[in-house]
């Protein structure tokens, strides 16, 4: 199984918002003594950065759209639709692990360089929530639609309702029902998001985030992923950021918006991510969630510099540009899982 899977199983209920490289570069492992080292990447554009190994095929599709002249908004949608449709990705879209009632519920948001946003939360039965979120952006006066309202809107726009619970996920859910006491359990496989940020050739920013949320969550739970300012935020004058990890912790700190604000104050993307991870740590070090807390951020600024940082080890992200092609990079981190 992937490094991501071994990382995910360290999490508990409600965690990860939860290698080989396709392309030209090898993954570089972060040395333990360098876990807090924050690098300053050279600026290039266009640039795509997205969370986790499933960001590689997502980036490839988004890159293909950019290179054929599509808008960054279309490219970011096309990119994250790849893991949304992949039943092997048990944390995004079709085949995602369900909530306690066996329902696959989806959250997604998207944002363009004009700060126009679209979002859906607690959406059921639609394979591509990111496309519904894009329709919210383009065709409504609202930012977020939720639950049945989001489903009704999707159906009115021609989306097909279908069963997203695959036999594999249903089997895992039934197994969980036999053992669960409906409380956090360490070392169960949970979930993570796919978040993607694009800096196009014109220097404009676009972002998207989509997830099936925490496995075995309470029915109706919504994490940070569809919340503009928490799971995703951008200011086209400054930069963009996105989160993965325990959604509740990201929401409590308006995580992605705060990363962007740190870049506004002059910090590099990596330094900005580190600053907000430190803030989350300080607010949660005596919190009940701390034993299984993980958060990570990715960020890119207007100059094309990018970076990431996580609370605990194991977080990596996919990057693509003309200079180095497609690759995975490990994020520096504050602490290991054994700390």
**Contact (Cβ atoms closer than 8 angstroms) between residue 183 and residue 14:** no
**Contact (Cβ atoms closer than 8 angstroms) between residue 254 and residue 230:** yes
**Contact (Cβ atoms closer than 8 angstroms) between residue 208 and residue 225:** no
> Can you tell me the distance from the alpha carbon of 216 to that of 122, in angstroms, rounded to the nearest whole number?
14
Return phi, psi of residue 206, to 5°. Answer: -145, 150
* Dihedral, CA of residue 66, residue 27, residue 57 and residue 315, to nearest 10: -100
Based on the number of CB atoms within 10 Å of its own CB, is 154 exposed (0-12), middle (13-18) or buried (19 or more)?
A: buried
- Does 336 qualify as catalytic in the annotation? no
Strand order in the sheet with 105-111: 144-146, 117-124, 105-111, 205-211, 194-199, 47-51, 316-321, 325-330
Residue from 15, 193, 206, 253 carrying the catalytic annotation:
193
**Which positions are catalytic?**
193
């Amino acid at each position: 199984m992937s490094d991501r899977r071994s990382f995910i199983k360290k999490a508990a209920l409600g965690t990860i918002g939860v290698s080989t490289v396709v392309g030209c570069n090898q993954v570089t492992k972060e040395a333990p003594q360098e876990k807090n080292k924050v690098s300053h990447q050279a600026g290039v554009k266009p640039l795509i950065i997205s969370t986790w190994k499933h960001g590689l095929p997502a980036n490839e599709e988004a890159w293909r759209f950019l290179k054929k002249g599509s808008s960054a908004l279309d490219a970011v949608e096309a990119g994250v639709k790849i893991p949304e449709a992949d039943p092997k990705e048990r944390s995004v879209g079709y085949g995602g692990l369900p909530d306690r009632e066996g329902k696959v519920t989806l959250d997604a948001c998207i944002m363009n360089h004009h700060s126009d946003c679209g979002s859906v939360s607690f959406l059921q039965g639609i394979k591509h929530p990111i496309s519904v979120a894009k329709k919210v952006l383009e065709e409504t006066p609202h930012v977020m639609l939720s639950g049945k309202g989001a489903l009704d809107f999707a159906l009115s726009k021609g989306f097909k309702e279908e069963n997203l619970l695959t036999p594999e996920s249903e089997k895992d859910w039934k197994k969980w029902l036999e053992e669960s006491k409906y409380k956090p359990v360490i070392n169960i496989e949970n979930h993570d998001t796919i978040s993607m940020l694009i800096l196009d050739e014109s220097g404009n920013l676009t972002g998207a985030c989509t997830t099936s949320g925490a496995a075995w969550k309470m029915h109706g739970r919504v994490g940070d992923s569809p919340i503009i300012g928490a799971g995703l935020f951008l200011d086209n004058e400054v930069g963009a950021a996105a989160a993965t990890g325990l959604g509740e912790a990201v929401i409590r700190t308006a995580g992605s918006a705060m990363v962007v604000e740190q870049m506004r104050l002059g910090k590099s993307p990596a330094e900005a991510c580190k600053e907000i991870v430190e803030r989350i740590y300080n607010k949660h070090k005596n919190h009940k969630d701390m034993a299984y807390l993980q958060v990570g951020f990715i960020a890119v600024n207007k100059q094309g510099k990018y970076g990431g940082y996580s609370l605990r080890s194991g977080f990596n992200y996919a990057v693509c540009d003309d200079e180095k092609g497609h690759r995975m990079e490990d994020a520096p981190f504050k602490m290991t899982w054994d700390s």
